[in-house]
Every structure is written in C-alpha cells, then in structure tokens.
Amino acid sequence: MSDKDEKKAKGRDIHTSYKGTFKADSLDVEEKTASAIITTHDGKEITVKGYNDHFDTLKEAFEAGGEVILRGKLLGSASLLHLAVYGTGPEHVAGVVKNPKDNFDSYEKDEKQPFIDLFVGVEKDDKTFWRGMTFFGDDALALKGKVTEGDRIELDVRPSQRKVGDNWKPVYVPEGPATVHPAAETEAKAEDETPQP
C-alpha cells in the first residue's frame, strides 16, 4: 500500500499479513507490548506490535528467527501505521468453492499474469463464512482445469489485500499447494456416510 492508500485505510478494519524476516535487534519490549520491524521480500520495513495476549506471540516469533508470516490488523495511520499481530504462520482452510473466475483464455494475449478468483465457504460454529481467495501466476496455473463450482478445496492461506479500482479488498492468498476434491467425489462420500434407514 502507498502512503495515500494507507491514509484511506484509516477508520476501517483491515486484516492482512506480512511475510519476511525480522530486522536484527529491532525487538522492543514494554509492559504488555512487544514491537519489532519485519522486512518483507520487496525490502519494505513494517512495524509490528503484539499487545496483551499477543505479547508472547510476537516475542516468540522474533526469538525463533528465520522467515515468518505475521497475521494481524492494521492500526494507526501514516508514520504510526503498524500491524497489531494476532497470529503467526498460515491459516488452514477447507470448504466448498463458489464463483470461480479466471483469465486463462486471455492472459497471454493481454500479457498479464494468470489468475483464479474464487470464494471458499468455511464452516464454523454451524455457520458458513465466504472467503475471497486469489491465486496468481504458478499458483493459478497449478489449479488450471482442476477446480469448478461445488468442488471442495483445502489449503493453507494468509490474509492480504488486492486493489480493485480505487479500493483495497480483503483476499486470502495461498501458502502452499491446494488439494481439490471434485464435487461428484464429495457427494458420493456424503452418500456413503449417510446412515441407512
């Protein structure tokens, strides 16, 4: 996000994640708050903070070292903008695919990156939450011809943002390969598991 876009984010709950490594000696610990700086793959430095219950989440991630994924909510604005961390690593999701869309027919002609956009219905507490997901490049090509409406998909993801017009939309991006169970296979399994009258 540019500074201009970050200012637009003020006042809205934006959940996202950053992937990178911690800047050496950047950990600062105060009462119930740990803060550090993470350097992303494109060289951007992001301030991250762990408050209260998530104090140890950030501190332990820093001490472990190596590449890390930090999930959280953006707080503050301009120079005070930071990620309030509530989790590390990818999140595992599984659910039914809805509204898959791709540009496989045109991306080469348009000289654009291949993509697949879809929604995954994640079931939690007897409710279904629809999460928008975007697969780009090799991640999209790996699913070419393998995912359709009604299939069940399972994969590790992390929250991110995608610019649509003038606005940033929340999306999830993959962190590793996806496993797809075709709709027919899922329905057959459900029938097998249905008790006979």
DSSP SS3 for 85? strand
Kindly indicate the confidence band of residue 9, based on its pLDDT and cuts at 50, 70 and 90. very low
Q: Give pTM, 2 decimals.
A: 0.74
The two tokens of residue 132 are: 């928008």
What backbone phi and psi angles, to 5 degrees, belong to 71? -105, 140
No. of helices (H) and no. of strands (E), the chain:
5, 12
Kindly indicate the confidence band of residue 162, based on its pLDDT and cuts at 50, 70 and 90. confident
Chain segment 13-71, per-residue pLDDT in tens: 788 999 999 999 999 999 889 999 999 999 999 999 999 999 999 999 999 999 999 99
List, in order of start, the domains of the chain with CATH numbers. 3-88 (2.40.50.140), 91-193 (2.40.50.140)
Chain segment 64-106, per-residue pLDDT in tens: 999 999 999 999 887 889 999 999 999 999 999 999 999 999 9
Closest CA to 56 of 76, 85, 78: 85
* Residues 152 and 128 sit within 8 Å (Cβ to Cβ): no
Chain segment 58-71, per-residue pLDDT in tens: 999 999 999 999 99
pLDDT at 71: 95
pLDDT at residue 190 is higher than 70: no
Closest CA to 171 of 116, 102, 114, 103: 116
CA 119/CA 52 separation, integer angstroms: 33
pLDDT at 192: 56
